[in-house]
Amino acid sequence: MGESESRATPERVPLEKVNDYMWRIPQYKPEMRVPGMVFANQALLEKMQTDRTLWQCSNVAQLPGIYKYAITLPDGHEGYGFPIGGVAATDYENGVISPGGVGYDINCGVRLLATTLTEKDVRPKLAPLADTIFRNVPSGLGSRRKDFTISTSDLEKLVVEGVQWLIDRGLGWPEDAKHCEESGRMANANPDKVSTTAKNRGLTQIGTLGSGNHFLEIQKVDKIINEKTAKAFGIMHEGQVMVMIHCGSRGYGHQVCSDYLRVMEHAVQKYKISLPDRELACAPGNSSEAKDYIEAMACAVNYAFANRQAIMHWVRQSFQQVYHEDPEKFGLNLVYDVAHNIAKVETHNIDGNQKKVWVHRKGATRAFPAGHPDVPDDYRSEGQPVLIPGSMGTSSWVMVGSQKAMDLTFGSTAHGAGRMMSRSAAKRQFWGGDIKSALEKRGIVVRAASASVLAEEADPAYKNVDMVADVSDKVGIATKVARLVPLAVVKG
């Protein structure tokens, strides 16, 4: 998610305090069509002021057709074009679509499984379980699973059908799809709009974690805040073992983004769109360029859903191999799968009117409230599960969507801890071996493809996820359900 190295902030961005957790960027430049709105406490805000986060937010506020305000969430930090932790909604007819508002790792997201096991059950088997998962789920840069191959025609079907394609082939349970955002399949996917280069990159990477901040963790429930909602989500008691998977669309999605950024740079000239930053390259939502991007992006979204589905299947298989029992015995039910780099058509209340808009969520999690038709039936009385992973070795949060999110953030909230320092800075400051030793002294089993990725992902390289969750909860754009902490970490 950290897409660009920090550069000097071009200008001091003015801020007006709304309350302790909300800050307004006024329309201090004539090109700004709307204000900016930043959700952060004082400590998180001060970090945002050290890089280009707020400047990028003010740039997003200049996009044609943008409604209400450009949003930066509490995990916000500098990205490509948009800040990561950025949300913007543009008019369906008269607005624009910008790949920078989605990012390179299209549908990077999080999937959570609930087990019937406790920490006491798992602790004696934790090391072999981590070893088996590490063996079964390829991780690291360019990783691939040698015993699972798909043909080009298989890939064409997979990116249209999403998780169902894998379920139909035995890599999952029938009920898995209903607990995915978009039911694990975004409509309008058209493989004809995806380059051969992207397809070739995607052929060998289904079911792989990749590298960087992607991870797979065996976790336990540390604290339950909202018992009623937790039980609805299958989180029954403290000490319960969970599994969290965090990854995206790998080289397939990265290539789709790269390809369409070039298309959009030409579109900016063709449609004479004035932008403050070329990284915001975009096209009118009703243009052929935007339509092509959305159809290609939907393929990458479905690829990512399928990627997490395959990984989940191999996690279930790993439990079976270690315990010599059918995985169903341990639950291993999918709680939910959320996307946090995506653009989609939604209807939102704008000044008292229902408007069809393009919502860009870049490092942002959808957070729909109770009663919303897009929330799965069995969760609808509570609201949509929101999954906010922390950095390696720290807590993660299960939260629930709210009406306040619909009112303030187009149904969105934070997606994770958010980086405090660049990857290169972290590698200069930390050594992977030290990080591994420190985690293992705390009883956390660590399996990683390389020591350098442990250095990049060291806890101090990230913001405090408890603080991010706290701001989201206090503002009301998602409310706390349960806190999870790691028992074992598998990294790329």
Tokens of 43: 């400590």
Tokens 């074992």, residue?
488
| Nearest alpha carbon to residue 409 among 367, 352, 451, 375 | 367
Helix (H) or strand (E) holding 269: helix 250-270
Give residue 174's identity as a one-letter amino acid code: P
Strand partners, 238: none
Tokens 């960027």, residue?
25
Strand partners, 223: 483
Contact (CB, 8 A) for 414 and 472 = yes
**Which residues have a Cβ under 8 Å from the Cβ of 326 and sit 6 or more positions away?**
320
Question: DSSP readout, 433-472?
Answer: HHHHHHHHHTT-EEEES-HHHHHHT-GGGB--HHHHHHHH
Taking each helix axis from N to C end, the angle separating 126-136 and 288-323, rounded to the nearest 10 degrees, works out to 140
Contact (CB, 8 A) for 26 and 14 = yes
Contact (CB, 8 A) for 420 and 78 = no
**Which residues have a Cβ under 8 Å from the Cβ of 348 and sit 6 or more positions away?**
67, 89, 354, 355, 357, 359, 406, 410, 411
Report, as residue numbers or ranges, the catalytic residues.
415
Contact (CB, 8 A) for 435 and 442 = no
Tokens of 217: 């963790």
- At residue 7, what are phi and psi to the nearest 5 degrees? -120, 165
**Which residues have a Cβ under 8 Å from the Cβ of 268 and sit 6 or more positions away?**
275, 278, 281, 282, 283
Dist. CA 187–CA 165, nearest whole Å: 14
In SS3 terms, 98-140 reads as: CHHHCCCCCCCEEEEEEEEEEHHHHHHHHHHHHHHHHHHCCCC
